[in-house]
Structure 1
Amino acid sequence: MRWIGLDHGTKNIGIAFTDELEILASPFEVWPNQGEPTLAKLARLAREEGAQALLVGLPVHKDGAESATAPLARAFGEDLAARTGLPLVFWDERLTSVEAERLLAARGVKPRDRKARLDAAAAAVMLNDLIETRRTRGIPANRLD
């Protein structure tokens, strides 16, 4: 199943995709969050790229409670799911930016370039976590549950 992963932020949205076999997740781009125009553009991108499901990062605190921006991420994900008709999964995004920063540094990405790529890398970290979770639970790539 080909997933589009989104790291929703009030300023930017990080975008990543998995391959159809759910072997690898790759950062795609970071887009400014401009509300309605961005939703329309993301719906078009999902169709063009053959996405079959949506993953949207859900901001939560270390104790697992949803953050103040979680309702914005939920509304964003639900709106995009309604526009695309794709199934939607919300995913705990705790520490994904920290992990993305570490991965970018390990790959030799210069600090000034990391900031521009961080949100897409965080979306890829979430997707890789989803892939690993599905793999360990024995969920085939062609099933959502």
Structure 2
Amino acid sequence: MNKVLGLDVGSKTIGVAISDALGWTAQGLTTIHWQEPEYDTVKDTFKQLIEEHTIEKVVIGFPKNMNGTIGPRGEASQEFGKFVEENFSLDVVLWDERLTTMAAEKVLLEADMSRKKRKKVIDKMAAVMILQGYLDSQ
């Protein structure tokens, strides 16, 4: 089976997670630095990730407002999803991630990780939680 990529897309960083071959577990892969909305700055990186890991689907965190409406970050996730579909011909799933970053922060706080270290891994951790939530629902 081909793998699934999970993304936590922010305006400066993109947390990346990947599923195992069976689609059961998500592992943190990397954090990509970029300047939204310069998609060209991440196109080669994504092409490499997709080819190297035989990716068949991309799950993108879709931050809705608590009342279910879509704000600027949600729109940015939708735009990024279109970019992935158009450039790599992959299935894209937008996954409701309303509480993911807060949950990731809580896990890292409980692990007693310093603020500096948390900042480095929070996006990757959020991507893992987004992807794991999706995998668990399948």
After TM superposition, is the score higher than 0.5?
A: yes
Match of 1:109, SS? coil
Structure 2 residue runs of 5 or longer lacking an equivalent are none
The percentage of aligned residue pairs carrying the same residue is 27
Aligned residue number for residue 62 of structure 1 = 66
1:72 aligns with 2:76: yes
TM-score, with normalisation over the residues of structure 1? 0.85
Aligned residue number for residue 17 of structure 1 = 18
Q: What RMSD in Å do the two structures reach over aligned CA positions?
A: 1.4
1:111 aligns with 2:115: yes
CA distance in 2, matches of 1:107, 1:86: 35
Aligned residue number for residue 53 of structure 1 = 57
Q: Is the 8 A contact 1:47 1:84 kept in 2?
A: no
Q: Is the 8 A contact 1:54 1:81 kept in 2?
A: no
Aligned residue number for residue 137 of structure 1 = none
Structure 1 residue runs of 5 or longer lacking an equivalent are 135-145
Aligned residue number for residue 85 of structure 1 = 89
1:4 aligns with 2:5: yes
Aligned residue number for residue 45 of structure 2 = 41
State the number of aligned residues.
Answer: 134
Structure with bigger strand share is 2
Match of 2:128, SS? helix
TM-score, with normalisation over the residues of structure 2? 0.89
Match of 1:20, SS? coil
CA distance in 2, matches of 1:90, 1:131: 13
